[in-house]
């Protein structure tokens, strides 16, 4: 039984999604910089001349708070426009062709309450199909199938705000994936989840056919990813396999800890593109 905490991601376990993998969605980031509150005394730059070409199916982005990773993730969906530079997703410019970009992408926020809109679980999943053109019968069937896939059938008529934290994130994922996006963007989706629910979420996304770009502090989520990019102070400081990038990131964190605590023995990592 759930009690409004994050103890259970679902009353019924989600089923594995075994659809064949879709081709990677190409992403191009060209000399992108971003300044928040530009032209005001509060102006502060968060990204500096980022150049990335992402052609892998599973890409992780890591870095400490304020490193710029969440800003970049949101730019890929057109939620934030770069101050300078250009971003394209599947060949579409995220500023000039934002509508086309969003038709093929799905976005998962850190806090699912930011994207759960409708009163009940069923209504929230169905809301994603409001412009699909499906008949009522076809829409209802697709909603039923999605609820079953994500283990939410028993909660279909429950108020969404009464779900546990884990169930809410599962609902957010279901509401995004029912539209069948080719690219899933996730901004620290497990930050508010406990260990069990984080593992459940990791298992779910591992089986998805979509391309995924995910910013996260939970490094274990990146097992099986094709590539990981490390951000620090608004710049890319490492870029390689999960093992290479995570090793660099841990050394970077050790160095920062040592600078705060001079008694800690740590070596300064060289900045590198692996």
- Tell me the pLDDT tens digit for each residue of 144-173: 999 999 889 999 999 999 998 889 999 999
Say if residue 269's pLDDT is above 80: no
Tell me if 268 is assigned to some domain.
no
pLDDT digits (tens, 9 = 90+) for 169-206: 999 999 999 999 999 999 999 998 888 888 888 888 99
The pLDDT value given to residue 211? 96
The pLDDT value given to residue 36? 96
The pLDDT value given to residue 263? 64
The pLDDT value given to residue 197? 84
Tell me if 244 is assigned to some domain.
yes
Q: Calculate ∠ Cα 83-87-91, nearest 5°.
A: 155
Average pLDDT of the chain to the nearest whole number: 89
Residue ranges making up the domain that contains 176: 27-260
Q: pLDDT band for position 2 (50/70/90)? A: very low
Say if residue 4's pLDDT is above 90: no
Tell me if 54 is assigned to some domain.
yes
Say if residue 236's pLDDT is above 60: yes
Q: pLDDT band for position 133 (50/70/90)? A: very high
Q: Residue 12: which residues within 8 A CB-CB, separation 6 or more?
A: 151, 152, 153, 154
pLDDT digits (tens, 9 = 90+) for 86-119: 999 999 999 999 999 999 999 999 999 999 999 9
Q: By percentage, how much of the chain surpasses pLDDT 70? A: 88
The DSSP result for the chain, as a single string, is ---SSSS-S-SSPPPP--PPPPPPPPEEEEEEEEEETTTSTT-EEEEEEEEEEE-SSEEEEE-STTSSHHHHHHHHTTSS--SEEEEEETTEETTTTHHHHHHHEEEE-SSGGGT--SSBHHHHHHHTTTTS---HHHHHHHHHHHHHHTT-GGGTTSBGGGS-HHHHHHHHHHHHHTT--SEEEEESTTTTS-HHHHHHHHHHHHT--SEEEEE-S-GGGGTT-SEEEEEETTEEEEEE-HHHHHHHHHHHHHHHHHHH-TTS--PPPPP---
Q: pLDDT band for position 6 (50/70/90)? A: very low
C-alpha–C-alpha distance, residues 213 and 64, integer Å: 17
Instruction: Name the residue among 170, 179, 207, 187 with its Cα closest to residue 57.
Output: 207
Tokens 């939620």, located at residue: 79
The pLDDT value given to residue 274? 45
Q: Which CATH number is 197's domain given?
A: 3.40.50.300
Tell me if 5 is assigned to some domain.
no
Handedness of CA 248, 252, 257, 259 (dihedral sign): positive
Which whole number is the average pLDDT over 124-135?
94
Q: How many domains does the chain have?
A: 1
Tell me if 225 is assigned to some domain.
yes
C-alpha–C-alpha distance, residues 167 and 69, integer Å: 26
Tell me if 65 is assigned to some domain.
yes
The pLDDT value given to residue 25? 97
Which whole number is the average pLDDT over 8-18?
53
The pLDDT value given to residue 196? 84
C-alpha–C-alpha distance, residues 39 and 226, integer Å: 39
Tell me if 250 is assigned to some domain.
yes
Tell me if 109 is assigned to some domain.
yes
The pLDDT value given to residue 165? 87
Say if residue 75's pLDDT is above 80: yes
């Amino acid at each position: 039984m759930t009690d409004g905490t994050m103890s259970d991601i679902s009353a019924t376990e989600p089923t594995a999604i075994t659809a064949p993998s879709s081709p990677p969605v190409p992403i191009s980031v060209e000399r992108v910089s971003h300044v928040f509150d530009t032209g005001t005394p509060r102006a502060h730059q968060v990204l500096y001349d980022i150049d990335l070409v992402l052609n892998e199916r599973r890409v992780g982005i890591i870095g400490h708070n304020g490193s710029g990773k969440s800003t970049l993730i949101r730019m890929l969906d057109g939620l934030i426009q770069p101050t300078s530079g250009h971003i394209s997703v599947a060949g579409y410019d995220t500023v000039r062709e934002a509508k086309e970009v969003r038709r093929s992408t799905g976005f998962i926020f850190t806090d699912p309450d930011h994207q759960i809109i409708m009163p009940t679980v069923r209504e929230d999943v169905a809301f994603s199909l409001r412009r699909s053109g499906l008949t009522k019968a076809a829409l209802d069937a697709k909603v039923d199938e999605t609820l079953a896939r994500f283990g939410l059938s028993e909660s279909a008529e429950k108020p969404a705000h009464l779900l546990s934290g884990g169930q809410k994130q599962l609902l957010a994922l279901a509401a995004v994936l029912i539209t069948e996006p080719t690219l899933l963007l996730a901004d620290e989706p497990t930050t508010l989840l406990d260990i069990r629910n984080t593992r459940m979420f990791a298992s779910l996304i591992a089986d998805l056919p979509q391309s995924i770009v995910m910013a996260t502090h939970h490094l274990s989520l990146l097992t099986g990813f094709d590539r990981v990019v490390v951000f620090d102070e608004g710049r890319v400081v490492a870029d390689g396999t999960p093992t290479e990038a995570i090793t660099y990131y841990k050394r970077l964190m050790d160095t920062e800890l040592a600078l705060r605590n001079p008694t800690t023995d740590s070596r300064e990592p060289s900045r590198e593109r692996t």
